[in-house]
Amino acid sequence: MTSTFVAIIDFVGTFAFAISGALVAVRHRLDLFGVLVLAFAAATAGGIIRDVLLGATPPVSVLDWRYLAVSSTAGLLTFYRHEQVERMRNPVQLSDAVGLSLFAVLGADKALDAGLGPTGAIMLGILSGVGGGIVRDVLVAQVPSVLQRELYAIAAFVGATVVVAGDALDLPPTPVTVGGATACFVIRWLAIRRGWRLPVSRGGGPA
């Protein structure tokens, strides 16, 4: 893929995740600073943790002011137009699914480039996709929803696995990346539509 194309989808994913962070922040009555922090954290924490684990510091989202600009735009929009953003539930879920798909495949790609093996690359792909949501929820003292709700991480797992398998089979990277992101997106979208969930152990007592 051209790097311009990657940059564009990266910012789309950043915006989508930032909206999810800002929505959580507003619901928990954080102040304006808190909303901007959660927007930025939800959008970038997965990639930042990935970069720190790879030793690729400073992380690109700290170096490049545009990530903060994009996430802050999403944060301000959510802060001052909260009702409208809440009402757009479908578009928000849609863009969140797009963000997940993009971050999972780009994260796996980046880990492979850094020399990680298949397991590490899949793990960091998943982490890139779900890390922001985990940090977002920890910051409002909630159990991360990605550890509980409908298929979310599994979608990222499939997307990252497609990228790693394509790399192992020496397939051309662009269609593989597009295929991985598409697979991730379709699984995530079907999971939302049909309420697909992972099992919960019967040992845990009543909900």
Residues that bind its own copies (CB under 8 A): 25-35, 37-38, 48, 52-55, 57-59, 62-63, 65, 68, 78-80, 82-83, 86, 114, 116-120, 123-124, 134, 138-144, 146-149, 152-154, 197-205, 207
Q: Could you tell me the smallest distance in angstroms from the CB atom of residue 73 to its own copies? A: 14
Looking at the Cβ atoms of 56 and 178, the one nearer to its own copies is: 56
CB-based contacts of 24-28 (< 8 A; 24+ apart in sequence) = 24/136, 24/137, 24/140, 25/75, 25/78, 25/140, 26/78, 26/79, 26/82, 28/140
Question: Is 19 in contact with 81 (CB distance < 8 Å)?
Answer: no
- Which residues in 160-169 are b (16+ Cβ under 10 Å) and which e? bbbbbebbee
Looking at the Cβ atoms of 15 and 40, the one nearer to its own copies is: 40
Looking at the Cβ atoms of 172 and 199, the one nearer to its own copies is: 199
Q: Could you tell me the smallest distance in angstroms from the CB atom of residue 41 to its own copies? A: 10
Looking at the Cβ atoms of 25 and 100, the one nearer to its own copies is: 25
Looking at the Cβ atoms of 2 and 29, the one nearer to its own copies is: 29
Looking at the Cβ atoms of 153 and 181, the one nearer to its own copies is: 153
Q: Could you tell me the smallest distance in angstroms from the CB atom of residue 90 to its own copies? A: 18
Say which residues have a Cβ less than 8 Å from residue 195's Cβ, sequence separation at least 6.
150
Say which residues have a Cβ less than 8 Å from residue 116's Cβ, sequence separation at least 6.
54, 124
Q: Could you tell me the smallest distance in angstroms from the CB atom of residue 172 to its own copies? A: 26
Q: Could you tell me the smallest distance in angstroms from the CB atom of residue 197 to its own copies? A: 7
Query: How far is Cα 188 from Cα 146, in angstroms, rounded to an integer?
Result: 12
Q: Could you tell me the smallest distance in angstroms from the CB atom of residue 180 to its own copies? A: 18
Query: How far is Cα 90 from Cα 88, in angstroms, rounded to an integer?
Result: 5
